[in-house]
């Protein structure tokens, strides 16, 4: 069966420090991958999505970047965190052409102090 792993679960980082959040999917190949951010008590904002290795689409201009170095690995990064980067970050995957398979990871709560 397919599983999605996200880590770390929680992270407290100072302003100006770098960030690296990792997401991996098991049990499938060539998935679509997504990074979402959820501010406290708010909806889901799509940050990046990827349809293949090295293919990244950015949805909103921001202080973050994403990379897909391997088929089932999706990384969210920042060189210098801002206070406004705090939030709950969710990774998700889907089978190509199958929107039902939009499965979320358990999330990373990032607090920038």
Q: What is the footprint of other proteins within residues 68-97 (CB under 8 A)?
A: 90, 92
Among 24, 32, 78, 86, binds other proteins (CB under 8 A): 32
- For position 61 contacting other proteins by CB under 8 A, the verdict is no
The residue to which tokens 């990827």 are assigned: 50
Least distance to other proteins, CB of residue 79, Å: 26
Tokens of 17: 């420090």
Alpha helices in the chain (DSSP H): none
Helix, coil or strand: residue 84: helix
The C-alpha atoms of residue 14 and residue 17 are separated, in whole angstroms, by 6
State the residues that interact with other proteins by CB under 8 A: 32, 34, 41-44, 46, 49, 51, 57, 90, 92, 99-100, 102-107, 109
């Amino acid at each position: 069966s397919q599983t999605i792993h996200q880590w770390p679960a929680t992270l407290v980082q100072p302003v100006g420090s770098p960030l690296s959040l990792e997401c991996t999917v098991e049990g499938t190949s060539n998935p679509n991958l997504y990074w979402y951010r959820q501010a406290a008590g708010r909806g889901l904002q799509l940050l990046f999505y990827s349809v293949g290795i090295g293919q990244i689409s950015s949805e909103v201009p921001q202080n973050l970047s994403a990379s897909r170095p391997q088929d089932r690995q999706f990384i969210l990064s920042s060189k210098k965190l801002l206070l406004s980067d705090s939030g709950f970050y969710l990774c998700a995957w889907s089978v190509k052409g199958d929107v039902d398979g939009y499965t979320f990871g358990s999330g990373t709560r990032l607090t920038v102090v």
